[in-house]
Chains A and B, each alone.
Chain A
Amino acid sequence: SQELEQSPQSLIVQEGKNLTINCTSSKTLYGLYWYKQKYGEGLIFLMMLQKGGEEKSHEKITAKLDEKKQQSSLHITASQPSHAGIYLCGADKGGGNTPLVFGKGTRLSVIA
């Protein structure tokens, strides 16, 4: 079965600093999803990557999928307190419209 490893498990950064979260899959990824979760709440969809080498950006967040489609990174530029939360990567099992397998998450704290 597919497993996703996220690193780091937790991260504390100073406001204004850049940071990167990594997600590594045990198998080739068909689709890689990034979500953000505020404590105890639902998941907010950030981005979805499908193609090797693909890169997507939204505001100050950029996600990349490597050429081999086994690793993804999420980069936040000039972090703000609003970026704090848990970031989860999820992989679909192939073909779309399938449930997701999730990593354990990265807890991000942004301090002033």
Chain B
Amino acid sequence: SAVISQKPSRDICQRGTSLTIQCQVDSQVTMMFWYRQQPGQSLTLIATANQGSEATYESGFVIDKFPISRPNLTFSTLTVSNMSPEDSSIYLCSGSGNLAYEQFFGPGTRLTVL
């Protein structure tokens, strides 16, 4: 199984600013995904982070708001741009392991936007 870490674990930000969240996996993974969990809600997929190419976004999420990088098979970043209070959520990254049916999650980044 893969161990996934995220930085920062939490942050409080001002409206209009941007925050970059880092996701590090302790081994190479085939796929990496970013999810959002709004207060009291379940997880919603933001995008699939593709290594060496542009991320694939779900309906309702756009690259200008949530730019994603994945420079290699163990690391990805998600930026939340021009934040508003509606962006206050937990952001989680996950990695799909070398076995097709494994998916592990990071501890999440709790973001509060004032």
Residue positions of A touching B, CB distance < 8 A:
31, 33, 35, 40-43, 45, 48, 50, 88, 90, 92, 95-105
Interface residues on B, range: 20 to 34
**Quick check: is B76 within 8 A (CB to CB) of the other chain?**
no
Distance in angstroms between the alpha carbons of A33 and B100 in the assembled complex: 13
Q: How many pairs of residues, A versus B, come closer than 8 Å at their CB atoms? A: 62
Distance in angstroms between the alpha carbons of A101 and B41 in the assembled complex: 13
> Contact between A42 and B92 (Cβ–Cβ < 8 Å)?
yes
> Contact between A92 and B108 (Cβ–Cβ < 8 Å)?
no
Question: Least Cβ distance of B29 to chain A in Å?
Answer: 9
Residue positions of B touching A, CB distance < 8 A:
1, 4, 6, 30-31, 33, 35, 41-43, 45, 48, 90, 92, 94, 96, 99-108, 110
The listed residue (A35, A42, A97, A101) touching B108 by CB distance below 8 A is A42
Question: Least Cβ distance of B100 to chain A in Å?
Answer: 3
* B5 nearest CB neighbor, chain A only: A42
